[in-house]
Structure 1
Amino acid sequence: MLEIAVIEDPAAAEASLDPIRTRILRELVVPASATQLAVRVGLPRQKVNYHLRALEKHGLVELVEERRKGNMTERILQATASSYLISPQALASVSPDPGRFSSHFSAFWLLALAGRMVQEMGKLIAGAAAARQKLATFAVDGEVTFRTAADRAAFAEELGVAVTRLVDKYHDGDAPRGRRHRLVVALHPVLKPAKDPTQTPSGKEQDND
């Protein structure tokens, strides 16, 4: 089972977005039969089987074991991944192209880069899994609070200079056995926590009595 699988096929994406099938995928992180799933999700076994066949057809669940129970064979299924992402490839004709944007400060360019990363990493992970190899990847994730917009702009400029210096130092386009790597550096505001609907502007809970 993969930690994360990236869905590229539009039909598989459509199948995964059904709320019942999403619930089934979540439950099948642990292998189970249709009978066991029916109890967990509160649906008839026949209906669960219908959804399982659709998920299995698109490679989102797989058979891990068959057990004989009297005159019947019980199929034990498991999700092919713990989590799923839908690749922009599933919407190939309308997916964003990073080449359409020229501004390093464009939020849409950042979004297009993120989409391309999902698409490329999905293909790389699938290829590495098939070849039983590990991927050489690296990421940094953190938060920084700027006092002013001017500080943020200065930080972005210095970061760009530092990254360019490192690329100039280590990049060798003529290396006979060199392997190209994608480098993306991103900076964006952190999402604010969602407001609790039970809280008033003063911070006190609403009295619904």
Structure 2
Amino acid sequence: MRVSVFTALLLGVSIAAYTQVKEVHLTAAIGNAQGTVSLLAGYDREVGSKEKFAVGFGARFTSYFGTNQYYQTAPAKLTTGSTGPLVIFKENIPENIDTVLLAKAQVNSLNLFINMRYAVHSKFQLGFNIDAIGFSFGASQPGTFRNTPIRTRPASFNALLISDNDRGNLNSELYLKYLLSEKWSVKVAAQFHFTEYFTETEVQQFPEPNDRFRNKALMGAIGVVKRW
């Protein structure tokens, strides 16, 4: 009997140790001749006695638009000569990198994301979210490689694999959220967004054939958040 009561108390404490929160974010970002509109639905758990820290996950749809954007060699084994987890600390090898120019780029992605946030004040929350895995779709686009017309298509599979090991189209945000009320908030963010295109043929030949090219965009963003 004592064991049963003790177990029940432990379960009660563990259940009370966090609060479940659901949020929807509508965000717009703009950069140099490019931008995104994204909609995410997330589920967070606020943990700790004061529930200041939260971790969670969800799904995000992002639509990217760009004009006259340069896409550089994507595979890590070419850009840095390495594919291990420490690739993030490796410098690029300039002679291994080629460029594709797209007059127009438009990619839509649907990814699962991870979120972390911390309440720095009763009205302010600092957070970070990043896409982990998903898929993308978009139309084929004309491009230029060394003044030669080519055709490209968006990468269809997305995966977070550390720096240039990443695949496809991924979105992430470092954001500051201001609570207007119990249910409504606004946010400002620095958004880091990857888009990736394949060329129809392996247009890059040195140091080895390659058909994957990536654009990395750092953009400013604003958004509105609904909580329930």
TM interval, shorter chain, is under 0.3
Q: TM-score, normalised by structure 2?
A: 0.19
Structure exhibiting the larger radius of gyration computed from Cα positions: 1
| Larger strand proportion of the pair | 2
| Larger helix proportion of the pair | 1
